[in-house]
A = this chain, B = another copy of it.
Amino acid sequence: MTTDIKERQAIRRSSNVPAYSQLADILEQQIAALTDEERARALPSEGDLSRQYGLSRITVRQALKSLESKGLVYSAQGRGSFPTLQRVTGISGFHSFTAEVRRNGQEPGTVILATSEVDRLPASIAEKLPVAEGEGGPQVHLRRLRLIDGLPIAVEDAWLPKALFPDLRPADFTDGSLYSLLADRWGLEPAWTDALIEPDRAAPEVAQLLAIDPGDPVLVAWRVTVTAEDKVFERVRSIYRPGFSLRVARYRLG
């Protein structure tokens, strides 16, 4: 065997990736590989990590803080830092549908139903998710049917602001991940999302798309996603079929 688990990864100081970020990635990877038994034990102390990787304690703490904000570890004064248990996995509807389904070990599918360009955000979504000044301008609209392992799961209507994505054309849309496209071409990534979730009955045309009966109980989610700089990234209305459940994992309280 040439690979050795104890092989210690090093921090590249010449890299443009910050040291704390590199350390966070290393720790995240190591934690993911732990058994349940090992998860009950503390991680190496800040002092140990500092010496091991040749970093100051401030940098080590920055790495641990970033893992803590993602809900992967917690720290207890006087005791140490510990991995958390991951309790819920599945589809949240908040991240990239493609990525979430794949991570769940299933096969995502997407059918583009319609695309268009509109001068203003439709009133139907504007009244659910308040629109700030200057946000309601020209949008690109995209209607998709989402499938998991070939089964229709949701009907999604998305509006993308042309102000944020200049030169975005309906023709750019493919079956692939929309988020990847936006990241590659405009370097923009979603950072936060607000959502409204409510129960409803399936309208006839939605029922037909989801292969359910009209009037069946469905879940309707309205989302607005923003970048780290609080720019509206997209607005989405999703209608999920009965029997499907949304999972909201690691929501920070207080």
Contacts and interface: CB of A to CB of B under 8 A. Distances in A.
A214 to B, nearest CB: 12
A189 to B, nearest CB: 7
Nearest to A218: B199
Contacts of A70: 252
Contacts of A198: 219, 242-246
A244 B219 CA distance: 12
Contacts of A225: 253
A228 B75 CA distance: 8
Interface stretch (A46-54, A88-96, A115-123): A88-96
Interface in A164-222: 189-201, 217-219
A136 interface: no
B196 A88 contact: yes
A160 B90 CA distance: 25
Interface stretch (A1-9, A79-87, A102-110): A79-87
A78 interface: no
B228 A74 contact: yes
A161 to B, nearest CB: 14
A250 B197 contact: no
A94 B254 CA distance: 10
A56 to B, nearest CB: 12
Contacts of A189: 254
Contact of A194 (B76, B88, B217, B226): B88
- In this complex, which of A219, A247, A252 has the most chain B Cβ atoms within 10 angstroms of its Cβ? A252
A191 to B, nearest CB: 6
Given A251-B251, A252-B252, 9 more contacts: A65-B65, A74-B228, A87-B224, A94-B253, A192-B252, A194-B247, A199-B217, A199-B240, A248-B251
19 contacts: A65-B65, A69-B69, A74-B228, A74-B230, A85-B230, A88-B194, A95-B254, A189-B254, A192-B250, A194-B249, A195-B247, A196-B246, A198-B242, A198-B243, A198-B245, A199-B217, A217-B217, A248-B251, A252-B252
Interface of A: 36, 65, 69-71, 74, 76, 82, 84-85, 87-88, 90, 94-95, 129-130, 132-133, 189-201, 217-219, 224-226, 228-230, 240, 242-254
Q: Would you list the 10 A-B pairs with minimal beta carbon distance, nearest first?
A: A217-B217, A198-B245, A88-B194, A199-B217, A199-B219, A195-B248, A84-B230, A197-B246, A196-B245, A87-B194
